[in-house]
Amino acid sequence: MQYGMIIDLKRCVGCHACTIACRAEWEVPVPYQRDWVKRLGPTMTDYGMAATYYPGLCNHCDVTPCVSVCPVDAVERIFTDAKSGKTTTLKVTATWKDPFDGTVQVDKERCVGCGACADACPYGARFVNPAQADENSVGKVDKCTYCKPRVDQGLVPSCVLACITDARIFGDLDDPNSAVSQYVKNGAKGLEVKDGHLGPNTLYFGTKKDMALLFAEYTPKLADMDSVKRRAMMASMVKPAMRKVQEIGVLGLAGAMLVKGLSENDEK
């Protein structure tokens, strides 16, 4: 099974009902977003004048650079299929691709808030949520989860439920009879990265000119993974250093800020 979502650009009216529903469902603080709607055009394309919208969210990709850069130590975790009850055990870090439904998830308890995975995502679909900070981090990584708790109960994601024009269609891309699979057969496709392959599972469908405008404006590039990995390495050192500062009380907040500054300087 691979859950996916179709965004039908022919139906989207840019009303933001989806983004409002997402913010309410997940208590996302301003100015952060798990999903977004951006206006495109009007501008000329090879197929004529076009104006459309870019509703974006996590793509729950087949290849997950966000998962591979997580610096948190991998541990064994038991996964259960919400439909069949089957279980399997995998070693995962603080983020992973679910072995049963293909969604990409985050363990907020284990996340150290380093932001390496957010840097690795070429779609800008992850952010560090400061409202979820704890004693070990300045925040936790947040993102669209395809509303997994709702879906596991047989419901649809909140953005799909709220869409006033049924422009969002959710389902199993591996099921040839599903509505999302029918869209794929009719030409729906994902915003694949330039010079690479991630296999995004949030897909778009629209007229030739609207699709041309969307892909011209928002086809992303792969992140500089060497830089991202350096950040992940720094994060693995910063976390215990910050803990040590807290334990011995040396310099208090100033000491913690100094250690955090080392990480920020490395990014520059």
May I ask the CATH architecture of the domain 3-218? 2-Layer Sandwich (3.30)
List, as one string, the DSSP characters of the chain: --EEEEEETTT-----HHHHHHHHHHTPPTT--SSEEEEEEEEEETTEEEEEEEEE-----SS-HHHHT--SPPEEEEEE-TTT--EEEEEE-SEEE-TTT--EEE-TTT-----HHHHH-TT---EEEGGG-BTTBS-EEE---TTHHHHHTTPPPHHHHH-TT--EEEEETT-TTSHHHHHHHTT-EE-PPBTS----SEEEE--HHHHHHHHHHH--B---HHHHHHHHHHHHHHHHHHHHHHHH-SSHHHHHHHHHHHHHHHH-
Q: Per-residue confidence of the chain (268 residues) as pLDDT tens digits?
A: 999 999 999 999 999 999 999 999 999 999 999 999 999 999 999 999 999 999 999 999 999 999 999 999 999 999 999 999 999 999 999 999 999 999 999 999 999 999 999 999 999 999 999 999 998 888 999 999 999 999 999 999 999 999 999 999 999 999 999 999 999 999 999 999 998 999 999 999 999 999 999 999 999 998 777 777 776 667 656 654 544 444 444 444 444 444 445 445 444 4
